[in-house]
Structure 1
Amino acid sequence: MKNIAIIMGGYSSEYKISLISGNVVYQNLDYTKYNPFCVHIFKDKWVYVDADDREYPIDKNDFSTTVDGNKITFDCVFNAIHGTPGEDGLMQAYFELINMPQTACDYYQAALTFNKRDLLSVLKPYGIKTAISYYLNLGDAINTDEIIKKVGLPCFVKPNKAGSSFGISKVKTLEELPIAIETAYKEDNEIIIESFLDGTEVSVGVIKYKGEVTVLPMTEIVSENDFFDYEAKYLGKSQEITPARISDEMTAKVGAIAKRAYEVLKMKGFSRSEFIIVGDEPFMLEMNTIPGMTNESLLPQQATVAGISLQDLFGNAIEEALV
């Protein structure tokens, strides 16, 4: 029986969703193989939380905990932290230093994919198409005319390093641009402004399953809101159709690009990449390496359509990490 620490929470706006994801993992592990522990990672405390909500501090020297005088160590960590420090490479680097297997990608891949600007720059030479973009760092002079000249209207203003669609705005007029930039800066000190791609949005899960890089059935996203924002993603304001209503040829084309990105980046664990298909060309928006694991989340939906139960999905991630 292996002791598995499921880390959840984190330091960002996404901590609530992460707690839900972590608990879904906890509920769906095979208890005949794994002994799961819920570990909450917050800025002010790292604690193991038992079934009665009692908290036991985590010893950061070796990521262990002590319960009633008994020291508990872990065989593997299941990473369910969205945002920092679980998705940006900090926890991955820490676990590598203490030689602890964990289910996510390595620290470099996490840091790279968490930074939309750097990810898309690395993938561009491999022929992966992206939106036209303009970058700003906090303190930069803001020339709205120059921005609009480059990206056009409407456009999207996004934090460069934040997930779950916090701080994203769709800008339709020049006057809205400064407000959108201010909103994005509340989440991050770097922002990315992208041209609007008018097409079909699909989300593509790629995982290592039983040793093979596997593309899951794609999800088509039809948002009731102006775009796939927080409400659309988590509060039911979107239609998520799996498998996506696109041709077999397009499914193969997008799947090949998502798989190529996974392999080029030497990814491990889970990934979920977002694309917008314009005409017959897929444009990549981003890649998430700790996608949502709630029952409503896209990657679990995709796994279910592929005939992979949540117990299999999560157990496989642990087994891959232990290889």
Structure 2
Amino acid sequence: MKKNIAIIMGGYSSEYEISLKSGQVVYETLDASKYNAYRIHVFKHKWVYVNDLDEEFPVNRHDFSVDIDGNTIQFDCVFNAIHGSPGEDGFMQGYFELLNIPHTSCGMYQAALTFNKRDCLSTLKPYGIKTAESYFVNLGDAIDEDAIVKKVGLPCFVKANRAGSSFGITKVYKQDELQNALNVAFKEDDEVIIESYLDGVEVSVGVITYKGEVTVLPITEIVSDNDFFDYKAKYLGESQEITPARIDETQANKVRSLAKKVYEVLKLKGFSRSEYIFKNGVPHLLEVNTVPGLTEASILPQQANAAGISMSDLFENAIEEALQ
């Protein structure tokens, strides 16, 4: 009997358009002979099932069901394609865990932790995982620009703490640029992390649970045409994403081992994609994404393809792992 799969997409953050694209790819890719797939749009003002005629049917949030022409649809599993809040920060995970509905992403605590860059990096440091020097600022704090520059140096990156897809990030070269960068970051979040600039090769490493085993996918090297791997570089083709990365085997082994360690230390499930920059031959962790982009142009599907895993196999495996 075919399983009913809800593909949640959209979300409450600036990433909603990217999420809709990811969710649509999942919808078009899943094997219709195995699954009944339903597109569920999740927005602040509405949660709705959207059929192929773009007709909308409201979701009953009490049990996450949908009534369609007098028939109530219950879901066997949820495929999470929401980047940002509420799909990547723990809210949806907690909701589905309370309803006892399997879902393809990590647990509630892990999602909340990894979405919070400051807390995630702080949690991993005791395990010997290297990161950039950092300085934390909250909305309303007095800004001591001299202290910031003394701690992290220039240039540096000012980042919204809980945002993705490079929203709310600015590379700062001069001290008098800090306040404007903070204003940009505070538009996305009321917490900010300011990090030192790491000059080195940047790589992205996908780690998934595949057929019951923690599996590190081929490494991708990121070469941005812009000043850093910003939104345009990620989504508008202004970068090169080279898989496998042009790094030597010693470096490759280091970052593969580190990415697997991060996945296991954090007790992640499903998909993850972590970013690193090599400084003096040592990979330094930038961040961990637990709902990465899932379009054909996205990094994780590219890595899976290089490992001989098709898009349909990648998505179906995530569902089957969740159902187990």
Code of the residue aligned with 2:245 in structure 1: it is A
2: CA distance between counterparts of 1:188 and 1:81?
A: 18
2:14 corresponding residue in structure 1: 13
Distance in 1 between residues matched to 2:267 and 2:60, nearest whole Å: 31
Return the offset for 1:279. Answer: 2.0
Letter in 2 for 1:165: S
Query: What 5-or-longer segments of structure 1 have no aligned partner?
Result: none
Q: Distance in 2 between matches of 1:243 and 1:32?
A: 34
SS of aligned partner of 1:113? helix
Distance 2:31 2:134 in 1: 44
The Cα shift of 1:31 comes to: 1.4
Tell me which residue corresponds to 2:73. Answer: 72
Find the counterpart in structure 2 of residue 53 from structure 1.
54
Q: How much does 1:175 deviate?
A: 1.1
Q: TM-score, normalised by structure 2?
A: 0.99
In structure 1, the partner of 2:200 is 199
Task: Give the secondary-structure state (helix, strand or coil) at the position aligned to 1:175.
Answer: helix
Find the aligned partners of 1:68 and 1:32 in 2 and give their Cα distance: 23
Aligned residue for 1:282, secondary structure, equals strand
After superposition, the C-alpha distances for 1:60-84 in whole angstroms (9 at most, x for unaligned) are 1110001000111110000000000
| 5+ long unaligned stretches in structure 2 | none
The whole-number CA distance in structure 2 between the counterparts of 1:295 and 1:140 is: 42
Aligned residues: 323
Task: Give, in angstroms, the shift of residue 280 of structure 1.
Answer: 1.1
Distance of 1:17 and 1:265 partners within structure 2: 26
Q: Which residue of 2 aligns with 1:278?
A: 279
Distance 1:246 1:233 in 2: 21
In structure 2, what is the equivalent of residue 247 of structure 1?
248
Give the corresponding residue for 1:25.
26
Q: Percent same amino acid at aligned positions?
A: 69
- CA distance in structure 2 between the aligned counterparts of 1:193 and 1:317, rounded to whole angstroms: 34
How far the C-alpha of 1:30 sits from its partner, in A, is 1.4
Distance (Å, rounded) in 1 between the aligned partners of 2:298 and 2:306: 13
Residue 305 of structure 2 aligns with which residue? 304
Specify the alignment match of 2:142 in structure 1. Answer: 141
How far, CA to CA, are the matches of 2:252 and 2:33 in structure 1? 37
SS in 1 for 2:258: helix
Find the aligned partners of 1:280 and 1:149 in 2 and give their Cα distance.
25
- Counterpart Cα distance in 2 of 1:32 and 1:216: 28
SS of equivalent residue, structure 2 residue 175: coil
Q: What is the CA-CA distance between 1:6 and the residue it aligns to?
A: 0.1
Supply the distance in 2 between the matched residues of 1:208 and 1:245 (Cα, whole angstroms).
Answer: 25
Instruction: Kindly report structure 1 stretches of 4+ aligned residues shifted beyond 2 Å.
Output: none
Give the structure 2 partner of residue 108 of structure 1.
Answer: 109
Match of 2:296 in 1: 295
Deviation at 1:276, TM superposition (A): 0.2
Listed as ranges, the matches of 1:78-157 within 5 Å are: 78-157=79-158
* 1:214 paired residue number: 215
Q: Distance in 2 between matches of 1:167 and 1:124?
A: 24
CA distance in 1 between partners of 2:268 and 2:168 (Å)? 27
In 2, Cα distance between the equivalents of 1:167 and 1:122?
Answer: 23
Where 1:150 maps in the other structure, the secondary structure is helix
* 1:321 counterpart SS class: helix
* Structure 2 Cα separation of the partners of residues 291 and 262 of structure 1: 14
Question: Hey, what does 2:173 align to over in structure 1?
Answer: 172
Q: Residue 32 of structure 1: CA displacement?
A: 1.4
CA RMSD of aligned residues (A): 0.5
Offset of 1:294 from its aligned partner?
1.1
2:322 maps to 321
The one-letter amino acid paired with 2:321 is: E
The whole-number CA distance in structure 1 between the counterparts of 2:167 and 2:81 is 18
Between the aligned partners of 1:262 and 1:52, the Cα distance in structure 2 is 40
* Cα displacement (A) at 1:225: 0.5
Deviation at 1:220, TM superposition (A): 0.3
Q: Which amino acid aligns with 2:290?
A: T
Shift of 1:95: 0.2
Alignment-derived partner of residue 43 in structure 2: 42
Matched residue type, 1:191: V
Residues 146-168 of structure 1 deviation map (CA, whole Å, 9 limit, x = unaligned): 10010000000000000000010
Distance in 2 between the 1:21 and 1:106 partners? 20
Partner residue in 2 for 1:158: 159
Alignment deviations for residues 164-194 of structure 1 (CA, whole Å, 9 cap, x no partner): 0001000001111111011000000000000
